[in-house]
């Protein structure tokens, strides 16, 4: 029987067709191909290969292979198919995540340069003639004789091409093409670091992870060859499945050192390692840790994230696919890295909501790491000082293995946390806004006098939260979203943080023409101005999405802060996690209430995690740390448990609330959102879907009522939401997908299904 290929056609129409494979074509699953489609040519990806059972039906043959080797591994294809069923996302849309644009677009290719290599030197008489009539050719010959092969660009670039061509035609040199790697870390120096002596807690965690690695290697049938440092280790029994490992370690407990040594053990076995970090801001620091530790293997460390240029992403991705890079570090999308032999997957700061993709496909990177590890047959480690309640509940249910690090690696105690009631500060300031409390300001003065550094956290960028008229109460709002415009002083504009709309700052109230229109609230730009006023001699830097727009801006700011060129670092959530600066002895949280009162059942959890993580930036060196939390709700459980670094106490009280109302982790929550230009149309569409979903409702599925979203309008579209909950996620997902597939939606309306939703705004 002729061999056939099932091909997923590129494009939004989700077409999958069978094609015959010509005898001369060595097609494999994951290969990119060009195929005939009606009267045109199309590109696609081979999902699987089989035999044509119906010989009477003649299939069109594949035209050609775009790439001779598969670009997607079979395990990644299996992961994409799992995502389609679970998240209800079209397979082609997921394939675009697996194959970045820099890789799938044929216009992108490897960067090459021409190398000139000396074949022979002219004799003395001929060399003298060349020197008289063509001095540039003479210079090129001397350079190549002295230095060996050189790039044309190093010889003088375009200005010497005529001379080089003449020498080539004369037979004195030849030109070769050499591939040039576009290195994201070009110009960076990484000083070699040695493995640290693990304390008992770290050693126990390392042993658990290495046993899981050994177990997975034995299960795959590969022999274990350990280095000297691993001699005498007990090997796990082959054939058994390894549970995901939750590494719960307090801030500064040395989780990174455990990752490094476990990664080394994995590399010793000939396996590769994937490290996920929640923020691109954390990537440079993590890369530095690994390249410094693996100084002789720096070229085996690859980076993947959205801030890379197209060329850098192309080169890094292909280095991983070819097996040239054994360690991959990246943000959420790096979960799709085409590793050939994964031996360990690490999800650092696994609790972070940034692992959730908010644009389709709406996957959860942490959960996909667990699924991919299961498919690849390798262990996965989820690390955090404040684990997500979903992961922590999985340890209590026996699905995950829990490993604890209860002490800081340097033996220092956790920082002392002080709570400042801002209601009292506001009264002292006669009702005006207080940005720095007296306690925080005095503590900062003392730390700066002692030559120490300070981190300040405020999760709101811009200068002022809004512009409001005191006479009529009018607030300047976005024309496309139902949110106030934020005032940015550096740009002298009102900017919407949802859609990016900008407006000129009015001199008078647009509604009543009152000239006394006022700024309300404050953001990082305002705080930066206040800091420079209070501490004129201190060097202050601000790190938010405004200052980090330029490439490497974030890396440069963090590098200067580490080098003590900056004394006060002010930032948003970019600085809230994972960063390690030994000279920081004070962390200040300017407004702990920003995330506490959001219309979200996870608001308390996010606030606790954020406060604990920011507090953990302080006192990570030899000096004791201190934290000042400014809040208008000092008695909130989230704030009080964070004050005492009591994760389990917080988890117990939060579990009680979640269990009572059947919220995750005791169920799976999904969100169905309708969007349209016309409010009534969006509402009617969701009401119609609600009615259809109510019919033949599976047991155990709780269906909420259609309501306007907390932010009813964004990007010019009106939004309505419907919350669904069920203990069995498959039951929920299958029912929604079945109803959506049988419903014809109006062209003007888009409906988005978000399984395991995180954003309820």
**Is 294 a residue whose pLDDT tops 90?**
no
Annotate 188-232 with DSSP letters as a single string: ------PPPPPPHHHHHHHHHHHHHHHHHHHHTTPPP---GGGTT
d(C-alpha 245, C-alpha 487), whole Å: 45
On the question of a common fold for 200-220+234-405 and 416-463+522-650, the answer reads yes
Give the model's pLDDT for residue 630.
Answer: 96
On whether the CB atoms of residues 29 and 81 are closer than 8 A, the answer is: no
Question: For the residues 519-545, what does the mean pLDDT come to?
Answer: 94
**Is 50 a residue whose pLDDT tops 90?**
no
**Is 122 a residue whose pLDDT tops 70?**
yes
Dump pLDDT digits (tens) for 307-321.
888 888 888 999 999
Question: For the residues 533-548, what does the mean pLDDT come to?
Answer: 93
Question: For the residues 312-331, what does the mean pLDDT come to?
Answer: 92
d(C-alpha 298, C-alpha 288), whole Å: 10
Question: For the residues 36-47, what does the mean pLDDT come to?
Answer: 92
**Is 45 a residue whose pLDDT tops 60?**
yes
Give the model's pLDDT for residue 114.
Answer: 84
Can you name the CATH fold of 111-180? Answer: Arc Repressor Mutant, subunit A (1.10.10)
d(C-alpha 760, C-alpha 372), whole Å: 27
Give the model's pLDDT for residue 499.
Answer: 92
Angle subtended at Cα 605 by Cα 601 and Cα 609, rounded to the nearest 5 degrees:
155
DSSP reduced 3-state for 251:
coil
Give the model's pLDDT for residue 495.
Answer: 95
Of the CATH numbers 3.90.1570.10, 2.60.40.10, 2.40.30.10, 3.40.1440.60, which one belongs to the domain with range 3-104?
Answer: 3.40.1440.60
Give the model's pLDDT for residue 483.
Answer: 93
Give the model's pLDDT for residue 150.
Answer: 86
Please count the other Cβ atoms lying within 10 Å of the Cβ belonging to residue 451: 10
Question: For the residues 253-257, what does the mean pLDDT come to?
Answer: 93
Dump pLDDT digits (tens) for 588-627.
999 999 888 888 999 999 999 999 999 999 988 888 999 9
Higher pLDDT, 538 or 187: 538
Reported confidence tier of residue 133, pLDDT bands at 50, 70, 90: confident
d(C-alpha 570, C-alpha 587), whole Å: 10
Give the model's pLDDT for residue 375.
Answer: 94
Please count the other Cβ atoms lying within 10 Å of the Cβ belonging to residue 670: 24
Reported confidence tier of residue 238, pLDDT bands at 50, 70, 90: very low
Give the model's pLDDT for residue 73.
Answer: 92
d(C-alpha 485, C-alpha 412), whole Å: 44
Question: For the residues 561-577, what does the mean pLDDT come to?
Answer: 91
**Is 363 a residue whose pLDDT tops 80?**
yes
Reported confidence tier of residue 371, pLDDT bands at 50, 70, 90: very high
> What residues contact residue 59 under an 8 Å CB cut-off, 6+ apart?
2, 4, 18, 19, 20, 52
**Is 248 a residue whose pLDDT tops 90?**
yes
**Is 226 a residue whose pLDDT tops 50?**
no
Give the model's pLDDT for residue 103.
Answer: 85
Phi and psi torsions of 753, nearest 5°: -100, 120
Assess whether the previous peptide bond of 665 is cis (omega < 30° from 0): yes
Question: For the residues 348-377, what does the mean pLDDT come to?
Answer: 94
Phi and psi torsions of 62, nearest 5°: -65, 135
Share of the chain above pLDDT 70, in %: 95
Higher pLDDT, 168 or 206: 206
- The lowest-confidence range among 40-44, 186-190, 466-470 is 186-190
The count of C-alpha atoms lying within 13 angstroms of the C-alpha of 402, restricted to the half-sphere facing its C-beta, is 18
Reported confidence tier of residue 188, pLDDT bands at 50, 70, 90: confident
Question: Where do the structural domains in the chain lie, given as residue ranges?
Answer: 3-104, 111-180, 200-220+234-405, 416-463+522-650, 668-755
Whole-angstrom Cα Rg for the chain: 30
* SS3 annotation, 82-143: HHHHHHCCCHHHHHHHHCCHHHHCCCCCCEEEEEEEECCCCCHHHHHHHHHHCHHHHHHHHH
Dump pLDDT digits (tens) for 403-436.
999 998 878 889 999 999 998 887 776 655 689 9
d(C-alpha 625, C-alpha 251), whole Å: 12
Dihedral sign of CA atoms 477, 482, 483, 489 in order: negative
pTM over 0.85: yes
On whether the CB atoms of residues 478 and 498 are closer than 8 A, the answer is: yes
Give the model's pLDDT for residue 239.
Answer: 38
What is the CATH class of 200-220+234-405? alpha beta
Question: For the residues 255-263, what does the mean pLDDT come to?
Answer: 96
Annotate 568-622 with DSSP letters as a single string: EEEESGGGSSS---TTEEEEEES-TTTTTTSSSTTHHHHHHHHHHHHHTTSS-SS
Please count the other Cβ atoms lying within 10 Å of the Cβ belonging to residue 390: 18
- Mean pLDDT of all residues in the chain? 89
- The lowest-confidence range among 132-146, 629-643, 652-666 is 132-146
Dump pLDDT digits (tens) for 712-738.
999 999 999 999 999 999 999 999 999
Q: Nearest-CA neighbor of 623 among 583, 593, 596?
A: 583
Dump pLDDT digits (tens) for 375-401.
999 999 999 999 999 999 999 999 999
Higher pLDDT, 433 or 571: 571
Give the model's pLDDT for residue 125.
Answer: 85
Please count the other Cβ atoms lying within 10 Å of the Cβ belonging to residue 489: 16
On whether the CB atoms of residues 212 and 247 are closer than 8 A, the answer is: no
The C-alpha torsion from 145 through 148 and 153 to 159, rounded to 10°, is: 10
d(C-alpha 707, C-alpha 326), whole Å: 49
The C-alpha torsion from 476 through 630 and 448 to 587, rounded to 10°, is: -100
Superfamily of domain 668-755: Ribosomal protein S10 (3.30.70.600)
**Is 189 a residue whose pLDDT tops 80?**
no
Give the model's pLDDT for residue 53.
Answer: 59
Give the model's pLDDT for residue 372.
Answer: 96
Question: For the residues 490-507, what does the mean pLDDT come to?
Answer: 93
**Is 224 a residue whose pLDDT tops 60?**
no
d(C-alpha 661, C-alpha 350), whole Å: 25
Q: For the domain covering 416-463+522-650, report its CATH number.
A: 3.40.50.300
Dump pLDDT digits (tens) for 5-16.
999 999 888 899
The tokens describing 288, both together, are: 């530095």
């Amino acid at each position: 029987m002729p061999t056939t290929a099932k091909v997923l056609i590129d494009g939004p129409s989700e077409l999958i067709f069978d094609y015959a494979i010509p005898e001369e074509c060595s097609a494999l699953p994951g290969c990119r191909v060009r195929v005939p489609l009606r009267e045109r040519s199309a590109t696609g990806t081979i999902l699987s290969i089989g035999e044509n059972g119906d010989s009477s039906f003649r299939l069109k043959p594949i035209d050609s292979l775009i790439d001779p080797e598969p670009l997607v591994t079979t395990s990644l294809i299996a992961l994409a198919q799992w995502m389609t069923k679970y998240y209800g996302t079209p397979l082609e849309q997921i394939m675009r995540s697996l194959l970045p644009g820099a890789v799938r677009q044929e216009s992108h290719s490897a960067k090459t340069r021409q190398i000139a290599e000396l074949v022979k030197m002219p004799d003395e008489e001929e060399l003298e003639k060349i020197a008289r009539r063509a001095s540039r050719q003479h210079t090129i010959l001397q350079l190549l004789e002295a230095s060996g092969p050189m790039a044309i660009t190093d010889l003088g670039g375009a200005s010497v091409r005529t001379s080089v061509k003449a020498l080539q035609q004369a037979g004195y040199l030849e030109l070769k093409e050499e591939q040039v790697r576009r290195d994201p870390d070009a110009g960076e120096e990484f000083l070699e670091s040695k493995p640290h002596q693990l304390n008992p807690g770290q050693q126990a965690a390392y042993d658990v992870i290495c046993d899981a690695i050994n177990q997975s290697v034995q299960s795959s049938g590969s022999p274990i060859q350990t280095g000297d440092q691993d001699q005498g280790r007990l090997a796990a029994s082959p054939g058994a499945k390894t549970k995901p490992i939750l590494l719960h370690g307090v801030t500064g407990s040395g989780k990174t050192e455990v990752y490094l040594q476990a990664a080394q053990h994995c590399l010793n076995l000939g396996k590769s390692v994937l490290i996920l970090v929640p923020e691109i801001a954390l990537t440079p620091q993590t890369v530095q840790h690994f390249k410094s530790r693996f100084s002789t293997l720096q070229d085996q460390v690859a980076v993947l994230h959205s801030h890379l240029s197209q060329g850098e992403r192309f080169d890094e991705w292909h280095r991983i696919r070819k097996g040239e890079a054994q360690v991959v570090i990246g943000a959420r999308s790096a979960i799709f890295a085409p590793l050939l032999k994964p031996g360990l997957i690490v999800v650092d700061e696994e609790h972070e909501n940034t692992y959730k993709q908010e644009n389709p496909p709406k996957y959860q990177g942490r959960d996909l790491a667990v699924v991919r590890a299961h498919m690849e047959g390798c262990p996965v480690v989820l690390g955090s000082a404040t684990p997500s309640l979903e992961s922590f509940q999985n340890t209590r249910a026996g699905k995950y293995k829990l490993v604890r690090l209860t002490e800081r690696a340097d033996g220092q105690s956790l920082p002392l946390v002080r709570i400042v009631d801002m209601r009292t500060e506001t009264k002292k300031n006669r009702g005006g806004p207080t940005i720095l409390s007296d306690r925080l300001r005095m503590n900062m003065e003392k730390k700066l006098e002692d030559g120490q550094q300070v981190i300040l956290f405020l999760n709101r960028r811009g200068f002022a939260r809004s512009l409001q008229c005191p006479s009529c109460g009018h607030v300047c709002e976005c024309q496309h979203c139902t949110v106030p415009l934020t005032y940015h002083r550096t740009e002298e504009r009102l900017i919407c943080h949802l859609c990016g709309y900008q407006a000129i700052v009015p001199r008078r109230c647009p509604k009543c023409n009152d000239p006394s229109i006022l700024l309300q609230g404050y953001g990082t730009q305002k705080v930066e101005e206040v800091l420079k006023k209070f501490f004129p001699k201190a060097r202050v830097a601000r790190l938010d999405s405004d200052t980090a727009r330029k490439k490497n801006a974030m890396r440069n700011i963090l590098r200067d802060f580490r080098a003590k060129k900056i004394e006060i670092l002010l930032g948003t959530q970019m600085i809230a996690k994972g960063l390690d600066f030994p000279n920081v002895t004070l962390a200040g949280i300017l407004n702990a209430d920003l995330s506490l009162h959001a219309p979200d059942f996870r608001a308390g959890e996010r606030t606790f995690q954020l406060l604990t993580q920011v507090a953990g930036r302080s006192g990570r060196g030899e000096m004791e740390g201190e934290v000042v939390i400014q809040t208008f709700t000092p008695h909130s459980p989230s704030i009080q448990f964070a004050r005492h670094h009591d994760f389990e106490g917080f988890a117990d009280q939060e579990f009680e609330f979640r269990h009572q109302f059947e919220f995750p982790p005791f169920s799976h929550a999904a969100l169905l959102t309708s969007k349209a230009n016309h409010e009534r149309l969006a509402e009617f569409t969701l009401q119609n879907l609600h009615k259809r979903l109510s019919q033949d409702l599976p047991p155990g599925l709780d269906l909420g009522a259609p309501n306007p979203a907390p932010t009813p309008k964004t990007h010019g579209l009106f939004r309505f939401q419907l919350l669904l909950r069920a203990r069995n996620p498959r039951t929920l997902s299958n029912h929604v997908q079945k109803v959506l597939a049988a419903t014809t939606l109006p062209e003007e309306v888009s409906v988005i299904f978000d399984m395991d939703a995180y954003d309820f705004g």
